[in-house]
Each structure stands twice: as structure tokens, then as C-alpha cells.
Amino acid sequence: MAKTTLQGRQRNALTKFIDHTLLKADAKASDIARLCREAKEHGFKSVCVNPCWVPKCREMLAGTKVAVCTVIGFPLGATSTFAKVEESLQAIDDGADELDVVINQGLLKSDIYACFCELSEIVRECRAAKKGVVLKLILECCNLTKDEIVVASTAAKKAGFDFVKTSTGFGKGGATVADVKLMRKTVGAKMGVKAAGGIRDRKTALAMIRAGANRLGCSCGLALVK
């Protein structure tokens, strides 16, 4: 009985870490509706969807504590700064509470100052549009060296992002404990770290939290709480 109770507590504790995610290109309206129902039922922190579904999620989740999260410049991060800003502002206007923005990896590797300027502009415009909007920067760590992860995480913190995030889930690799530890060490205790990509079971989820993640991006959220 004691073991069963402990497992139940672990499942309940995990729910507030989870961004219940569906970013497949062929996701249907019925799939998005199911995602929202599951998030409400289990008390997940947010649903994370492509921008076109933000209004539907906002409508379905009205009056709940489940946030609406969407992605910007997804999945490559290589759109223009103007495009990222406009996409962000449209998402906010549609009702998004949280934005997961993909860093321009090529710009990071070739001109860190220009990359920082882009991040700063996105933060400035989003903060002006909506007070309290949560901004997460997706690094796609599988494409970066350890030094580049440190540089990108530092730039995100200085630009004013609330979180750094490991992965899009569409790259060649997802979250690793080593990358989460490095990101946490770099940004310190107060900034958020989101682990995403390849988190399919409770054991992996708990390992990411122990490494320093305080948010988990999961397309298999139900598997973590059942």
C-alpha cells in the first residue's frame, strides 16, 4: 500500500511539469480536442501545439489552469527576425500564454551578436504585447557543441527568456541528462530549463528533473502519469 501511494504521489507531482505536446503536421482538430481534454483531466501545465491551433485550445481551456503553449520559427529556427516577431505577436493575440521559440542555429554559430539581437527583439516585442507571457528558447542541443550550448543559454538569459529548452523533438536527438545539467549550471537556479524530445516514460522524466529540468515537453504525457 505504501509503495502504491508513493507511486501515486509521483504521478501527481509530475503533471505540473508536463507540457502535453502535439506538433505533428497531420494533427486533426479531433486530435487537438483530445489533447485539451487529457490536459484538463490530468492537470498538465500546458498543451503545446502548432500556432494554427492556438485559438481552438484557448477556447477549450478557458476557465482552467492549463496554459496554451505554441512554437515559433518551428522547427528550424531559420526564418527572419521579422517573421518570428510577427508569428509571436499573432500567437499572443490568438491567446497563447507561452511561446517556445527556436533559436537560429546558423546565426548562433556564425554571429553571436546578431543572434543575441534577434533574441532581444523577440523578447521586447512579446513583453510589450502581453505582460506575463512565458518565453522559452529551443536550442536543439543535438546540433550544438557543449560550448555553444553554454553561449546560447547565456544569451537567452541575458535577452530575458524565462526558459531554455533542449530540443524541438524533430532533430536527430532529444533531451539528454548531460545537456540538462549543463543548461542548469549555465543559467543558474532561477531560470527555467525545459527538457523535451524522447521523454517517453516516468524513469526518463524523473532523471531529467533530477538533472535540473523544471518543465518537460512530452508527446507521451499520459504514459508518465498512468
Other CB atoms within 10 Å distance of the CB of residue 158: 12
Whether the pLDDT of residue 14 is over 80: the answer is yes
* Annotated catalytic residue within 45, 136, 157, 194: 194
Query: Is 40 noted as a catalytic residue in this protein?
Result: no
> What is the pLDDT confidence band of residue 226, given thresholds at 50, 70 and 90?
confident
The structural domains of the chain, ordered by start, are: 2-225 (3.20.20.70)
Q: What is the pLDDT of residue 3?
A: 46
Interval 102-129 mean pLDDT: 98
For 47-58, the pLDDT digits (tens) are 999 999 999 999
3-class DSSP assignment, residue 62 = coil
Whether residue 100 lies in the annotated active site: yes
Instruction: Write out pLDDT tens, residues 155-204.
Output: 999 999 999 999 999 999 999 999 999 999 999 999 999 999 999 999 99
Per-residue pLDDT for 35 more than 70? yes
> What cell was used for 79?
526564418
* Average model confidence (pLDDT) across the chain: 95
Annotated catalytic residue: which of 157, 162, 165, 179?
165
Q: What are phi and psi of 192, to 5 degrees?
A: -80, 150
The answer to whether residue 190 is catalytic is: no
Choosing from 97, 100, 162, 179, the catalytic residue is 100
Mean pLDDT of 205-223: 96
**CB-based contact 218:224 (threshold 8 Å):** yes
Q: What is the per-residue pLDDT for 1?
A: 42
What are the φ/ψ torsions at residue 71 (nearest 5 degrees)? Answer: -110, 150
Q: Which of 153, 148, 215, 141 is nearest to 179 (CA)?
A: 141
Q: Express each pLDDT in 132-150 by its tens digit.
A: 999 999 999 999 999 999 9
